Structure 1
Amino acid sequence: MSSILIKSATVVNEGQKFVADVLVKNGLIERIDHNIDAHADELIYAEGLHLLPGAIDDQVHFREPGLTHKANIYTEARAAVAGGITSFMEMPNTVPNTLTQQLLQDKYDIAAQNSLANYSFYMGASNDNIEEVLRTDARNVCGIKVFMGSSTGNMLVDNPRTLENLFSQSPMLIATHCEDEQTIKNNLAHYKELMGDDITIDYHPKIRNTEACYLSSSMAVELAKKHGARLHILHISTAKETELFDNNIPLKDKKITAEACVHHLWFSDADYATKGNLIKWNPAVKTAEDRDGILKAVLDGRIDVIATDHAPHTIEEKAQPYLQAPSGGPLVQHALPALLALHQQGKITLEQIAEKTAHNVATCFQIEKRGFIREGYWADLVLTDLNKPWEVTRQNTLYKCGWSPFEGTTFPASITHTIVSGNLIYKHGNFNETIKGKRLTFNR
């Protein structure tokens, strides 16, 4: 493996900012000091640039296998690296759904061959695969994914006995999508009665409303408390749900944690008028008050991590009428630039970005030797130029689907270099695709 010496970077790590050199050897951070005089195969002069720990995205949908007309592990991991995301955890609602240990291994095999980023994959839970779920190796798999709301295939878990079994027996982290299915069905039936099939996108947050989210999230919290389970609730979309979480417990001791996604921190229901189905997500983007309440909970520690829920669809699929258009959108290339833009607006500090996208993800999931800029840790690093604005266009968007909900947005900061497991994979728009990322391991 090649060595890298980063000179005079402004390091952002563990609540501090300081200028230092960083020496990387054999994939690891060997030394952090003020003036390192050492030979390295790659020398990066980083004066004026900020060095952050590479982001760890705990929720992506890379669509492989089975949905590769939308995306695949190679294309989306490549886009993630360009956006400063060095590791991802991918969801099981591919085709076929990842409901057996063999199907889970198949995805790891694909990533080992094709992913430029580090990777892990969730084991999927259904109403009838509890024995397979309990065979999951907690040391080598990020968690169990439970859809407590609408999903594809056989992945909606709505059987109370199944949920009790999962929460009482699973020894590892359970990540949940929380929306109450019956509430959504009732709301949809109500608006169909009023409008037939002419429902428009602005009704999306009324159909998938605060009540649907809170009912499901509060039930998940209740189950976790009852059984002492390790629960992680994904993509919180309402201010009301933030009341369910505690900021008085050290993160390493929390049994119940929560995630916010970039789109719920950026968009509001006012944006449906211009963005339409391009910002149709489940859970729905809701009010500006919800957006501000989520950010407040991120900053005060009730919400622990920031992720993307990257879930691409083709532009043709998104162009369908509201009821037919799928939910989800591509985000991994633009998530960190969006957070850096929020920083420049005075809404979040660089230290908090490092904490919520890297440190806390590593702590929540007990990831081994990643998520921090520390000597002896894997060198997952991203250099950013806070004074290099760029506009998101179709031409510079790297997702296989070819579009972004941020198209037309000018971000004030750029990603200049991304180092994955000690290898310089991205530099000023160019990729080194000869070296692949590594499988994440967990201290469990």
Structure 2
Amino acid sequence: MGRVLIKNVNIVNENRVYESDVLLEDEIILRIAPSISDANAKVIDAFGKFLLPGLIDDQVHFREPGLTHKGDIASESRAAVAGGITSFMEQPNTNPQTTTLEKLEEKFARAAETSFANYSFLFGGTNDNLEEIKRLDKNACSGIKLFLGSSTGNMLVDNEVVIENIFRNTEMVISAHCEDETTIKRNLAEYREKYGDDIPIKYHPLIRSAEACYLSSSKAIALAKKTGARFHVFHLSTGIETDLFRNDIPLMQKKITAEVCIHHLWFSDADYDAKGTLIKWNPAVKSAGDRSKLWEALLDDRIDVIATDHAPHTLEEKNNVYTQAPSGGPLVQHALPAMLQKYHEQVLSLEKLVEKMCHNPAVLFDIDKRGFIREGYYADLVLVDLDDPWKVTKENIAYECGWSPFEETVFTSKITHTFVNGHLAYEHGEFSKQRNAKRLTFNRS
């Protein structure tokens, strides 16, 4: 790849925005300085643009193996790169599920052949695979994933003895989907009695209610405190849950952390009439009041990470009646533009955006040499024009499923270049045919 010199760019990194040059050599950020000259480098004049570390998405569903009609590692990692996401952590609820060491390594082998972005995978905990978890090397992958509420893939873990044993038998980060299954089943039965299978989508946040979320997350957090486990709650969706988390200590000292997803920060239950099942997620998009409290907790550091929970389905699948329409939607291509829109609305600073989408995932999961713009780190970088409006249309959607909940949205900011390990993987709407992705490595002593 040789050398690339990015000139006159505004770097957003480690709570600063400053103008500098950045010299890349092969896979590495070689030098950061106010004025760099190199006759052998390819020069990109980035005057007026902003350079961010490559985003790290700690929660995606790329559907491979077994569900590849919805998307696969190649198609969805390519869309991620278009959205400035240079590293991802994929979830275990595929077919077959990633619940044995053999299936985990099969996923890594497939990603090595096809991924456009750096990759790792979460290992799925079940009611009966504790011995596999004990065998898992703590630096082998992103961590453990538990579904404490049912979702796509039927990986519900509901044996309390098993859950406690998992908490006590791994040093890795345990990430969880927290919704109380008993509460959800009771609510669903009530609405099914009234409407049959064609339940109006507006009742989704009442079926998968705030109560269901809080019961599960509060119980799991209590267990984490009891056992000393390192516990991360995925996709917070309610205001009441935000009070379960601390902001009085730095992230490095936290043992219990939280994530919020793009859809819970952008949409509310007022959007169900227009968007229908396209914004059906588990946990559900809830009230504007919940959304406001999520933003408050994100900005005051009770919530540590912004992610996507990218989970594509076909339009045909999504257009089924309520009980048959799967939950989830595609988001990796549009997550950064959506959060940059919040910057333009003066809700979120660029520095805080980078902290939550780049730095903190790297710190939380102990990722080696990524998530920051530092000399000696991998050259995962995103170049952004903050003032180049564009509209999301079917023609510019990169997802295999071909749709987005953001269709017809006009974003003010555009991603112009994405570097993955120093390789220019995406430039002005065009993808490189070459891949330079790597398996993520971890520093867990």
Q: Which residue of 1 aligns with 2:371?
A: 371
CA distance in 2, matches of 1:189, 1:435: 48
Give the whole-Å Cα distance in 2 for the aligned partners of 1:289 and 1:408: 25
1:19 partner letter: E
Find the counterpart in structure 2 of residue 211 from structure 1: 211
- Deviation, 1:42, is 2.4
AA in 2 matched with 1:96? P
| Range that drifts further, 143-152 or 8-17 | 143-152
Q: 1:436: how far off?
A: 2.8
Aligned counterparts of 2:200 and 2:126: Cα–Cα separation in 1: 31
Q: Is the 8 Å Cα contact of residues 116 and 433 (structure 1) preserved in structure 2?
A: no
What's 1:8 paired with?
A: 8
Q: Distance in 2 between matches of 1:61 and 1:40?
A: 41
Partners of 2:351 and 2:201 lie apart in 1 by 36
CA shift for structure 1 position 41:
4.0
> Residue 101 of structure 2 corresponds to which residue in structure 1?
101
Return the letter of the residue paired with 2:102: Q
Deviation per CA, 1:28-60, whole angstroms, max 9, x where unpaired?
111100000113442111000000011100000
1:145-199: CA deviation from partner (whole Å, max 9, x where unpaired): 0000003445210001100101111111000000000000000011112222331
Rounded to whole Å, the distance in 1 between the matches of 2:267 and 2:153 is: 29
State the match for 1:74 in structure 2: 74
Which residue of the partner structure matches residue 188 of structure 2?
Answer: 188
Q: Alignment RMSD, CA only?
A: 0.9
| Structure 2 CA distance for aligned equivalents of residues 188 and 302 of structure 1 | 31
Query: Per the alignment, in what secondary structure is the counterpart of residue 182 of structure 1?
Result: helix
Identical-residue share of aligned pairs (%): 61
Which string of whole-angstrom CA distances, capped at 9 and with x for unpartnered residues, describes residues 80-132 of structure 1?
00000000000000000111001000110111011110000011110000111
The offset of 1:19, in angstroms, is: 0.4
Q: Corresponding residue for 1:386?
A: 386
**Match in the other structure for 1:360:** 360
Aligned residue in 2 for 1:245: 245
Change (3 A) 1:202 1:40: farther
Structure 1 counterpart of 2:202, which letter? D
Q: Which amino acid aligns with 1:25?
A: E
Counterpart-to-counterpart distance in 1, 2:48 and 2:154: 50
Asked if the contact 1:114/1:436 (under 8 Å) is kept, the reply is no
Matched, 1:267 2:272: no
Structure 2 residue ranges without an equivalent (≥5) = none
Q: Provide the rounded CA distance (Å) in 2 between the counterparts of 1:286 and 1:4.
A: 45
Q: Which amino acid in 2 is paired with 1:411?
A: F
In 2, Cα distance between equivalents of 1:356 and 1:40: 35
The residue that corresponds to 2:413 in the other structure is 413
Match of 2:53 in 1: 53
Question: What does residue 306 of structure 1 align with?
Answer: 306
5 Å-filtered alignment, 1:48-197, equals 48-153=48-153, 155-197=155-197
Counterpart of 2:194, as a letter, is L
Determine if contact 1:367/1:442 at 8 Å carries over to the other structure: yes
2:254 aligns with: 254
Quick one: distance in 2 between partners of 1:220 and 1:2? 49
Q: Which amino acid aligns with 1:341?
A: Q
Q: How far, CA to CA, are the matches of 2:203 and 2:66 in structure 1?
A: 30
Instruction: Report the CA distance between 1:440 and its aligned residue.
Output: 0.5
What's 1:326 paired with? 326
Query: 1:375-428: per-residue Cα shift (whole Å, max 9, x none)?
Result: 111111000001100000011000000000000100000000000111111111
- Contact 1:113 1:436 (8 Å CA) reproduced: no
Q: Residue 395 of structure 1 aligns to a residue in which SS?
A: helix
Give the letter aligned to residue 239 of structure 1: G
Q: Kindly indicate whether the alpha-carbon contact (under 8 Å) linking 1:142 and 1:365 is maintained by their aligned counterparts in 2.
A: yes
Residue 77 of structure 2 contacts residue 115 of structure 2 at CA under 8 Å; is this kept in 1? Answer: yes
Letter in 2 for 1:172: M
Using the alignment, how far apart are the partners of 2:335 and 2:317 within structure 1? Answer: 22
d(CA) in 1 for partners of 2:39, 2:262: 39
2:270 is paired with a residue of what secondary structure?
helix
Query: Once structures 1 and 2 are overlaid, which stretch shifts more, 98-107 or 144-153?
Result: 144-153
Moved segments of 4+, more than 2 Å = 39-42, 151-154, 194-198
Aligned 8 A contact 2:152 2:327 in 1: no
2:315 aligns with 315
Deviation digits for residues 231-263 of structure 1, max 9, x if unmatched? 000000001000000000110010000000000
Q: 1:332 to 1:357 in 2, by over 3 A?
A: same
Cα separation, 2, equivalents of 1:291 and 1:193 = 30
Identify the range of structure 1 (258-267 vs 38-47) with the bigger mean alpha-carbon deviation.
38-47
Question: Deviation per CA, 1:342-369, whole angstroms, max 9, x where unpaired?
Answer: 1100100000010000001101001001
Code of the aligned partner of 1:274 = A
In the alignment, which residue of structure 1 is the partner of 2:225?
Answer: 225
Q: Is the 8 A contact 1:140 1:440 kept in 2?
A: no
Distance 1:344 1:160 in 2: 45
The runs of 5 or more residues in structure 1 that have no matched partner are none
Output the CA distance in 2 between the equivalents of 1:434 and 1:256. Answer: 39
Q: Which amino acid aligns with 2:83?
A: G
Q: 1:152 to 1:403 in 2, by over 3 A?
A: closer
Residue pair 2:151, 2:282 contacting (<8 A) in 1 also: no
Q: Contact 1:14 / 1:351 at 8 angstroms: preserved in 2?
A: yes
SS in 1 for 2:221: helix
The 10-residue stretch of structure 1 (153-162 or 243-252) with the greater mean CA deviation from structure 2:
153-162
How many residue pairs are counted as aligned between the two chains? 444
Determine the C-alpha separation between the residues in 2 that align with 1:135 and 1:89: 20
